Structure 1
Amino acid sequence: MMNRTILVGRLTKDPLLRKTNNGVSVATFTLAVNRTFTNQQGERETDYINCVVWRRAAENVANFLKKGSLAGVDGQIQTRTYEDQHGRRVYVVEVVAESVQFLEPRINSTKNQHENPPEERGGYQEDTPRYNTNNTSNYDDPFANEGTPIDIDDGDLPF
C-alpha cells in the first residue's frame, strides 16, 4: 500500500508552532494549492490543505516561513477524529510532512520580519540567528541576477 503526497503552494497564514507535553515541537500551517484545470468560468480553483510537521523541521518552518511563502511539502495524508466541546465527532484530514522545502529566496520570505515580531507569528521564541538580508555586503556576489540575460556558450556547459 502507498500513501505519498507532494504539494507545492503558498502558506495562507504564518505557521503556528507549539510544543507537546514532552517538549516535542509541532508546527501547523495551511497550504493554498492551485488546481491544474479551470472551472466553467475559466478560473483556477484553489484547495486549502492543512499540514503538520514535527520536531526540528517544525522549528525551521516556524522560523523561516510566513504567510505567502512558497513551500513544497512531501508527506502522507492522515485522518483522525475527535469530539468537540458540543460532543460532535469532528473528522480531520491533513498532510503529515516528512520534509518541507523552502522554494523562495530567504530575502523574499523574511522581508517583513521586523514588522511582525516572533511572538506575533505563532507564539514561539527564536533561538537561531538571522542571516543578514540587506544588500550591503562587503563583496560582489558573482551569482546575483541583475535582471540582464546571461550569455553562456554551449561549450561551457558540462553536459
Structure 2
Amino acid sequence: MKNINITIVDGNLTNDPELLKTVNGKSLCKFSIAVHNGIVNNQSNSDDVSYFDVDVWDKFAETCNDLLKKGSKAVIVGKLKQERWKAEDGTSRQKVKIIAQEIRFDSSVFEKKVIDNRKIAA
C-alpha cells in the first residue's frame, strides 16, 4: 500500500533556475527555495529559515525555467524524495528534496498563474 507523501512550502527562490537535459532528452529544472518560519530570537532578530532543493521535470521544467528567477515568490506543492549516497571519504550522505507537482507564483504584480505539471505533461 502506498503511503501519503505530499508537502507544501511557500518561499522565495535563492538562485536562478538551472535547466538540464538528461541523456534521454527529458528536461529537468533545479532551484532552491528559502522558507521563512518566523523569528527565532527577538533580541537578535534572527530568522528561522529552511532551504529546500526543488526538481521540476519535463515541459513543466521548461516553463518554470522561463518564468521563475532568483527572488521569485513561489508556493511549491510536491512530494519529498530522499537521496542517499557514499561520499568520496566513504561516509554515508543523504538529503531530502522536493519533486514539484504544482507551483503557484507571481508572474507580475497584477497577475497570478498556476502551473500544474499534470496538465502540462502530455
- TM-score (norm: length of structure 2): 0.77
Q: Match for 1:16: what amino acid?
A: E
Separation of aligned partners in 2, 1:24 and 1:61: 14
Partner of 2:102: 99
In the alignment, residue 8 of structure 2 is paired with which amino acid?
I
Q: Are 1:61 and 2:54 matched, yes or no?
A: no
Write the letter of the residue equivalent to 2:100. Answer: A
Give distance in 2, aligned partners of 1:104 and 1:75: 20
- Normalised by the size of structure 1, how large is the TM-score? 0.60
Structure 1 unaligned spans of 5+? 108-159
Distance 2:55 2:109 in 1: 22
Query: What residue ranges of structure 2 are gaps of 5+ in the alignment?
Result: 111-122
Provide, for residues 125-153 of structure 1, a one-character-per-residue CA deviation record: whole Å limited to 9, x for no partner.
Answer: xxxxxxxxxxxxxxxxxxxxxxxxxxxxx
Per-residue CA deviation, residues 46-95 of structure 1 (Å, 9 max, x unaligned), is 11111111011111111111100111110011101123444443212101
Give a deviation string over 1:102-137, Cα, whole Å, max 9, x none: 224179xxxxxxxxxxxxxxxxxxxxxxxxxxxxxx
Identity of aligned residues (%): 31
| Length, aligned pairs only | 106
RMSD: 1.9
Q: Which has the higher strand share?
A: 2
Find runs of 4+ consecutive structure 1 residues off by over 4 angstroms: none
Contact 2:41–2:47 (Cα < 8 Å) also in 1: no
Q: Which protein has the larger Cα radius of gyration, Structure 1 or Structure 2? A: 1
State the structure with bigger RCO (CA 8 A, min sep 6), 1 or 2.
2
